[in-house]
A and B are shown apart, each in its own frame.
Chain A
Amino acid sequence: MQQKRKLKKIEKEKFVDTVVLLCKEANYNLPLSIVKALIRARENETDERPREVLSILIENARIAHDKKIPICQDTGVVSVFLEIGRELIIDFDIYSAVQEGVKKGYKEGCLRASIVFSPFNRTNTGDNTPAIVYTEFVNEDNIKILLIAKGAGSENQGGVFMLKPHEQEKIPDIVVDYIKDKAPYACPPIIVGIGIGGDMERSCFLSKKALTREFLNPDKEIAELENSLLSRINRLGIGPGGLSGKTTALAVRIETHPCHIGSLPMAINIGCYATRYKKAIL
Chain B
Amino acid sequence: MKIPEERGLLYDLKAGDRVFLSGTIYTARDKVHKRGFPFDVKDQVIYYTGPTPTRPGEIIGSCGPTTSSRMDEWTPFLLSQGLAGMIGKGPRSKEVIEAIKLYRVVYFVAVGGAGAYYKNFVKKAEVVAYPEFGCEAVYKLEIEDFPLYVGIDSNGKSIF
Contacts and interface: CB of A to CB of B under 8 A. Distances in A.
A184 B160 contact: yes
B132 to A, nearest CB: 9
B41 interface: no
A243 B113 contact: no
A241 B111 contact: yes
Contact of B64 (A53, A73, A152): A73
B134 A153 contact: no
A126 B62 contact: no
Given A64-B116, A241-B111, A185 B63 contact: no
B113 A57 contact: yes
Interface stretch (A81-89, A108-116, A207-215): A108-116
A110 B113 contact: no
B51 interface: yes
B114 interface: yes
A1 B135 CA distance: 63
Contacts of A156: 67
Contact of A153 (B91, B109, B112, B119): B112
Interface in B108-145: 109, 111-117, 119-120, 133-135
A277 interface: no
Contacts of B91: 184-185, 242
Contacts of A67: 116
B53 A63 contact: no
A129 interface: no
Instruction: Assign chain A's interface to a size class.
Output: 35 or more
A73 B114 CA distance: 8
Given A69-B62, A242-B160, A112 B53 contact: yes
Given A110-B61, A153-B67, A73 B89 contact: no
Contacts of B90: 153, 184-185, 242
B89 A71 contact: no
A194 B159 CA distance: 29
Interface in A211-258: 240-244
A72 B64 contact: yes
A70 B67 contact: no
Interface residues of B, number: 37
A70 B61 contact: yes
A122 B133 CA distance: 10
Q: Is the interface of B mostly helix, strand, loop or mixed?
A: loop
A174 interface: no
A26 interface: no
Interface in A41-79: 49, 52-53, 56-57, 59-61, 63-64, 67, 69-75
A244 B117 CA distance: 21
A70 B62 contact: yes
A67 B111 CA distance: 20
Contacts of B81: none
A160 B23 CA distance: 44
Given A71-B115, A243-B149, A112 B159 contact: no
B134 A124 contact: yes
Given A74-B66, A153-B89, A242-B91, A112 B112 contact: no
Contact of B114 (A60, A126, A152, A153): A60
A70 B115 contact: yes
Contact of B115 (A52, A72, A184, A243): A72
B67 A60 contact: no
A107 to B, nearest CB: 9
B75 interface: no
Interface in A84-122: 110-114, 122
Interface of A: 49, 52-53, 56-57, 59-61, 63-64, 67, 69-75, 110-114, 122, 124, 126, 151-153, 156, 184-185, 187, 240-244, 272-274
Given A153-B89, A156-B67, 4 more contacts: A110-B61, A112-B52, A242-B112, A243-B111
Q: What 4 A-B pairs come out closest when comparing CB atoms?
A: A187-B112, A60-B117, A73-B115, A64-B116
